Amino acid sequence: MKYEAVIGLEVHVQLKTQSKIFSASSAEFGGDANSKVDPVVIGMPGVLPVLNKKVVEYAVKMGMATNCTIARHSIFARKHYFYPDLPKGYQISQFEEPICEHGFIEVNADDGEARKINIERIHLEEDAGKSVHAEEYVAKNETLIDLNRAGVPLIEIVTEPDFRSPQEVYQYLTKIRQIVRYLEICDGNMDEGSMRCDANVSIRPVGQPELGTKTELKNMNSIRGVERALEYEIQRQISAVADGESIEQQTLLWNANKNITVAMRSKEYAHDYRYFPDPDLVPVLVSDEWRNSIAESLPELPEARKNRFMAEFKLPEYDATVITEEKELADYFEKAALTSKDPKITSNWIMGDVSRILNDGKITISEFSVPPKGLAELINLVADGTISQKIGKQVLDEILATGASAQKIVEDKGLVQISDVSAIESLVDGVLATHPDEFARFKNGEMKLMGFLVGQIMRASKGKVNPKIANEILRKKIE
C-alpha cells in the first residue's frame, strides 16, 4: 500500500526587540544567569504586565509578509501550567483572538506544482525561562533556574496540516527564516533557539481523506534536522503500520546524533491549560492608521525582490535566487549594481570571488570590508578593459589587504591593461624571437600553440596585455 504523510508545523520565532514583551528588562540573548530580570519577569506579587508595542508591530509585519488577515482587535489569554521556569504559573499567550490569521506561503511540491501551505494563525506570547541541570546540583536533587529568557517576545506561527513531504517542510522553513531575516524581526538561528519548530506528523493511505494518528516531534535544531526527523518518523510510522502495529499519539524527541526519534516520558494525564482572557491586559487594537504605517515600513520581500532583479537588472533566475537569499547580500548587490556598468558581471563577481572570500573567511557580507561602491569600481575597470579579469582578482585581494581603492591600486602598481596595438606588437615580436621553434610550428598550423604563445606574452607583460588584441596580432602573423 502506498502512504502519504500529513504534516503541520508550529514555529516559534523570538522577536529581537530591545526590551521584553511585558516589561522594560533587556530581551538580549545571553549574559549572566538572571541578569535580565525585574519584578515583572520574576512574577513578584503585585506586578502587572504592560505590552511592548514594538512586539505588535513585528508580529503584524510577519502577518503581512505571510498574507495573513491582521486582527483589528486581539486579546491575550493566560495558559496555565506549573513548571519551575514559568514564573507566574501561567504563560501569557493568545488563544481565542490571535493577532494574525488565515495566511499562506507557497512551496514547490514534489510533483513540481506550487503548493499553498495555509497558515492558521500567528499569535503573540512570552517565552519561559530555562531550567539548568548543572552536575553538582543534580547530585543534590536541585535544579537552577535562569529567567533571562523569560518574557522574551515570541510569535508562534501555526500551519494547517498541508505539507505532504519533508522536502516541502524544508522549503517552508527556509522561506520563513528568510522572511524573518528580511523583516529584521529575528535572526532565524535554529541552533541558538531564536527560531524553533515542532512538527505534527501522521500517515495515511493515499486517497484516504481521514487523518491518521499523529505524533509530535520536538528538539530539532536546524532546518535540515527537521527534514531528517520527519523522514525518519514517516518511515517509522509506515513500518509500524506495515507490521500491523498502531501509531500511538505521543511526543517524540529528535536525537540528531543518532538520527532517531525517542519517545518523551509519557504524561499521566492530558494538560488542561485553563485558558482565559488575561484581565491585566487590555485588548490589542491595531488601527487602520497604524496598520498602514507598518505596511509602509515593510521592506521588499524576497520573492518580490527576486522578480524585480530579474526584470530590472536582467539577471537570470538562478542568479536572482542566489543573490536574494539573504537580505544583506541582496542589498549589497543592488548598491554595487547601481554604480557598476554591468549588473550580470556584478552578480558573477558576488556569486564567485566575493562568496569564495566570505566562505573562506567564514564571514557574512555585512562583515565584508569592501563596500559595494568599491566593488563596482573594480568591476567597471574590468568591464571597460582598463584591467583584465585576472588582474581584477589580484586587485580585489589587494583592496582587501590594504583598503585602497581599485583605481589607486591599478595606477600605483601600473596594472593598466596594455591595449596599444604597437606596444603589444613589439611584445609579441619579442616573444616570437625567443621562441622560434614554437613560432615555426604555430605557423605550420599547430593552432594549439596559440595558448602557449599568448601565455608567454602575458607573462612578459606581467598579465597586463589585453589578451584579445594579443590573439589578433598572433593570428595576423600567420596569415
Partner 1 sequence: MENFSIRSVQKKIKNGELHLKSIVGEFIGRIEQRDDLNAFLAVYKNAALAKAEEINNKIRSGNAGSLAGAVIAVKDNMAFKGGQLSCASKILENFVSPYDSTVAKKLTAADAIIIGKTNMDEFAMGSSGENSSVKPAKNPHNTSHVPGGSSSGSAVAVAANMCTAALGSDTGGSIRQPAAFCGIYGMKPTYGRISRYGLVAFASSLDQIGPLANSIDDLAVILQAISGNDVHDSTSAPEPVPEFSSRFSESIEGKTVGIPRQYMTEALQPEIADAINSTKAKLIAGGVKVVDVELKMLDYCIAAYYIICTAEASSNLSRYDGVRYGFRAENAKELDEMYTQTRVQGFGKEVKRRIMLGTYVLSAGYYDAYYRRALKARTLIRQDFENAFKQCDLMLSPTTPTTAFKLGENINDPLTMYLQDIYTVSLNLAGLPGLSIPAGRDSAALPIGLQLIGKPFDELSLLQTGYFLENTPDN
Interacting residues toward partner 1 by CB under 8 A: 39, 42-51, 78, 80, 82, 84, 87-90, 141, 145, 272, 274-276, 279-282
Task: State the nearest-atom distance from the C-beta of 237 to partner 1, in Å.
Answer: 28
What's the grid cell of residue 345?
558581471
Rg of the chain over Cα atoms, rounded to whole angstroms, equals: 30
The rounded distance, in Å, linking the Cα atoms of 310 and 316 is: 6
Joined together, the cell numbers standing for residue 274 give 485553563
> In whole angstroms, how close is the CB of 95 to partner 1 at the nearest point?
11
| C-beta of 83 vs 318, nearer to partner 1 | 83
| C-alpha distance from residue 229 to each of 169, 237, 291 (Å) | 11, 12, 38
User: What is the CA 267 to chain-centroid distance, rounded?
Assistant: 36
| 275 vs 290, beta carbon nearer partner 1 | 275
* Residue among 64 and 150 whose Cβ is closer to partner 1: 150
Give the nearer residue to partner 1 in terms of CB position, either 73 or 274. Answer: 274
What is the smallest separation between the CB atom of 82 and partner 1, expressed in angstroms? 6
Contact 70, 64 (CB under 8 A): yes
Q: How far is CA 72 from the centre of its chain?
A: 30
**Minimum distance of partner 1 from residue 55's CB (angstroms):** 14
Q: Taking the CB of residue 413, how many other CB atoms lie within 10 A of it?
A: 15
* Cα distance between residue 394 and residue 388, in whole Å: 10
Query: Least distance from C-beta 69 to partner 1, angstroms?
Result: 25
The single residue listed with the C-alpha cell 488542561 is: 272
By beta-carbon proximity to partner 1, the closer residue of 45 and 112 is 45
CA pair distance 217, 261, nearest whole angstrom: 8
Q: Which is nearer to partner 1, 270 or 433 (CB)?
A: 270
Q: Which of 155, 156, 160 is nearest to 118 (CA)?
A: 160
The alpha carbon of residue 331 and the mean position of all alpha carbons in its chain are separated, in whole angstroms, by 14
By beta-carbon proximity to partner 1, the closer residue of 280 and 446 is 280
**Closer residue to partner 1, CB minimum distance, 153 or 166:** 153
Tell the smallest beta-carbon distance from residue 93 to partner 1 (Å).
13
* Phi/psi at 423 (5° precision): -65, -40
CB of 17: closest distance to partner 1 in angstroms? 17
Kindly tell me which of 274 and 459 has the beta carbon lying closer to partner 1.
274
* Among candidate residues 426, 429, 423, 386, the one with its CA nearest the CA of residue 408: 386
Which letter, b or e, does each residue of 252-273 get, where b requires 16 or more Cβ atoms within 10 Å of its Cβ? bebeeeeeebeeeeeeeeeeee
- H or E segment to which residue 42 belongs: helix 39-42
Pick between residue 69 and residue 143 the one whose CB is nearest to partner 1: 143
CB of 308 to partner 1, least distance (A): 42
Q: In the bound complex, what is the minimum distance in angstroms from residue 96's beta carbon to partner 1? A: 11
- Contact assessment for residue 376 and residue 336, using Cβ atoms and an 8 Å cutoff: yes
Measured from the CB atom, the residue of 46 and 207 that comes closer to partner 1 is: 46
Beta strand spans in 186-342 (E): 195-205, 215-220, 251-255, 260-263, 276-277, 284-285
CB of 401 to partner 1, least distance (A): 54
Residue whose CB is less far from partner 1, 79 or 177: 79
* Residue number with CB closer to partner 1 (37 or 470): 37
Distance separating alpha carbons of residues 50 and 18, to the nearest angstrom: 15
As measured in angstroms, the least distance from the Cβ of 85 to partner 1 is 9
Strand partners, 201: 7, 215
Q: Kindly write down the DSSP assignment for every residue of 122-158, as one continuous string.
A: EEEEEPP-EEE--HHHHTTT--EEE-SSTT-EEEEEE
Q: What CA–CA distance (Å, rounded) separates 63 from 87? A: 29
State the nearest-atom distance from the C-beta of 280 to partner 1, in Å: 5
| Least distance between partner 1 and beta carbon 230 (Å) | 30
Question: How far is 261 from 274, CA to CA, in rounded Å?
Answer: 30
